[in-house]
Amino acid sequence: MPIQSGGMPHHSHPFYMPVMISSLTSLSHYATDSIPATNSSIMIVWEGKGQLTIDGELYSLKSGSIITFDVASDLKLETELQLQGVWIEYATMSKRKQEDFFLNGSSSLHHATTQLMTLSGELYSAWINPDNRKPFKVQQLFAQFIVDLHHELATAKETSGSWLEYVFEYIEAHYNEDITREQMAKLARVSPEHFSRTFRKIMGQTFSAYITLLRIRRAQQRILTSSPNLTTLAHEVGYEEGTYLSRKFKQLVGLSPTAYQNKNKKIVALNYNHTAILRVLEIMPQLGVYSDWQRSLEQVPASKVLTMSEGNSSLLFDSIASAEPDVIIGYNIPENKILTPVAPVIELPFMQMSWREQFGLIAHVVNRRQRAEEWLSHYDRLCHVANKQLNHSIGSERGTAIVWELSSRAAYCFSSSYGRGCQILYGDLGFKPPSIIMENGIMDSGYLVSSIEEIGSYPADYIIITSIPSSSEGRQRLSRLLRSRDWKQLDAVRNNRVYVLNKGDMFYGFDPLSSQAQLQELLRVMTS
């Protein structure tokens, strides 16, 4: 490496070095206030929703957002749903001009790949838990992160420029209108020929074929969830006549709308909760995501298990496509859009529907409404018996209860919209959430985050801990909590109303199967 007269190496390429890495949850106390940032920064959002203002320019944040920016005089973060992710501040060492860097100081918002999100998690873990045996691990991971980010941004620029995402958003909003290739090319400010080539390269089909696919998928979703009149449905999705919709439907699906509605469907479930709902409805999904707790209840053939942590969207697509499903069921997340060519995706809004409502909707989709009604009647009888036992054991005035889930680094408490047994405590058994968590906005975010040592500052008549840390560091933090003065002075501790269940996998579920098990477990410990 050539050395300049001043003794410093001459960098032909810029060298990026992390100077601070922190979790987004640790920045929550800066919400609506200025955030201190003295270096160029990168923010990666794993979960949640919010807005970041950089020198007066507003950026919307959601799961998968990655934003890069230079030192800013005015940074403000506003959180709608608790943000989880990583904030990286870094320094750049080079004699080259700033505008020659691929991260050239200008603010820009992108969508992070699963690989980038996973790598950011490894980088954060290495930063907060340094390994003396691997002193360069953080720099190695950050270098790999920068390489992958550069490749992702360069690939996105080559394949779609800055217009393709905007075009897809427009199509999603206007697919039922008479939109043409020429209109979309004009919107994107590219030639019709370039638009067609790029669209086909990305989607594997022509623009007109994609519009037809999107219309038929919307028709399938409506048929499965609400059974509309065929003529009305045709108008909704952009066709003038029901007969024309029926013909297009049969060409793509292979069945008429009526036959599709009535057939026994092959189903893929994209999460634990919806897999459990299907099993309660006595349906084995073609592919489903199973928790360890669910798999402890029944033997599931490996060929029926869908693994979502593969970190490769194309591999996930291939796994689901090979199952040839008639319908896919999951929560409403952006990643589901890649599955549109495979089958209609029934998307349920997260945190906006109780498990009972999700149960009822899925039962309607799979024509098992009577089975769902019978099961809910059975569950209501269990709740009635449970309340009688609690009345006898602790009295009819329930008081307040709080549920904690402890990880190695943090403690989480929840509202009923997030499950974790709170849907039972607050919904079925008559307990109330403590006023302190209500005042801290838990109804908006669904959960609150605290350090393990500080959960003693959230008093409640009953404290339920559904899981404890598995790491030695986490257990040490829990031990400090249990020895603390704040903890020992809590009424729940003095009255022996703290229940350590350590059954996080079971309490993770927000579905009829898990809710029944959670009800029985809560009743067991609170009446024993």
Residue 85: which CATH number? 2.60.120.280
Same domain, 392 and 472: yes
- Angle ∠(221,225,227) on CA atoms, nearest 5: 95
Confidence band, pLDDT 50/70/90 cuts, at residue 405: very high
Consecutive H or E run containing 426: none
Classify burial at 347, counting beta carbons within 10 Å of its beta carbon; exposed 0-12, middle 13-18, buried 19 or more: middle
Same domain, 233 and 316: no
Q: 326-383 pLDDT, tens per residue?
A: 999 999 887 788 899 999 999 998 878 999 999 999 999 999 999 999 999 999 999 9
Domain enclosing residue 453, as ranges: 379-527
Residue 49 covered by a domain: yes
- Predicted pLDDT of residue 249: 96
Output helix, strand, coil percentages for the chain, rounded to the nearest 5: 50, 20, 30
Domain boundary among 230, 262, 294: 262
Question: End-to-end alpha-carbon separation of the chain, Å?
Answer: 72
- Predicted pLDDT of residue 38: 57
> How far does Cα 235 stand from its chain's mean position?
33
The length of the chain is: 528
Q: CATH number for the domain including 195?
A: 1.10.10.60
- Residue 1 CA to residue 8 CA, distance in Å, equals 10
Same domain, 145 and 41: yes
* CB-based burial, 6-16: b 16+ in 10 Å, e otherwise: eeeeeeeebeb
Residue 66 covered by a domain: yes
Residue 45 covered by a domain: yes
- Residue 194 CA to residue 163 CA, distance in Å, equals 12
- Residue 344 CA to residue 337 CA, distance in Å, equals 10
Residue 160 pLDDT more than 60? no
- Name the one residue in this structure whose structure tokens are 């020895």: 483
CA dihedral 34, 39, 44, 49 (to 10 degrees): 10
Same domain, 255 and 283: no
Q: Answer for the pair 387, 429: CB distance below 8 angstroms, yes or no.
A: yes
Give, as one character, the DSSP assignment of residue 29.
Answer: G
Domain boundary among 314, 337, 367: 367
Same domain, 389 and 495: yes
Provide CB contacts within 8 A for 319, sequence distance 6+: 287, 306, 307
Consecutive H or E run containing 85: strand 75-93
- Residue 267 CA to residue 329 CA, distance in Å, equals 7
Residue 332 covered by a domain: yes
Q: CATH number for the domain including 359?
A: 3.40.50.1980
Same domain, 197 and 233: yes
Quick one: which of 203, 212, 202 has its CA closest to 252? 212
- Residue 206 CA to residue 295 CA, distance in Å, equals 42
Name the token pair of 243. Answer: 């007969």
Residue 84 covered by a domain: yes
Confidence band, pLDDT 50/70/90 cuts, at residue 422: very high
- Predicted pLDDT of residue 16: 78
Residue 5 pLDDT more than 50? no
Residue 228 covered by a domain: yes
Residue 96 pLDDT more than 60? no
What's the pTM? 0.70
> How far does Cα 42 stand from its chain's mean position?
20
- Predicted pLDDT of residue 13: 59
Same domain, 439 and 336: no
Same domain, 388 and 523: yes
The total number of structural domains in the chain stands at 4
Q: Answer for the pair 526, 393: CB distance below 8 angstroms, yes or no.
A: yes
- Residue 448 CA to residue 28 CA, distance in Å, equals 11
Phi-psi bin for 7: left (phi > 0), alpha (psi -120 to 50), beta?
left
Same domain, 204 and 142: no
Q: 235-247 pLDDT, tens per residue?
A: 999 999 999 999 9
Residue 6 covered by a domain: no
Consecutive H or E run containing 213: helix 207-226
Sign of the torsion angle spanned by Cα atoms 363, 366, 370, 375: negative
Radius of gyration of the chain (CA): 26
Domain boundary among 229, 262, 295: 262
Quick one: which of 368, 373, 367 has its CA closest to 262? 367
Confidence band, pLDDT 50/70/90 cuts, at residue 436: very high
Q: 464-522 pLDDT, tens per residue?
A: 999 999 888 889 999 999 999 999 999 999 999 999 998 999 999 999 999 999 999 99
Consecutive H or E run containing 229: none
- Residue 100 CA to residue 514 CA, distance in Å, equals 55
Average pLDDT, integer, range 203-216: 92
Same domain, 136 and 171: no
Residue 1 covered by a domain: no
Q: Which residues pair with 65 in a beta bridge?
A: 111
- Residue 275 CA to residue 297 CA, distance in Å, equals 13
Same domain, 184 and 245: yes
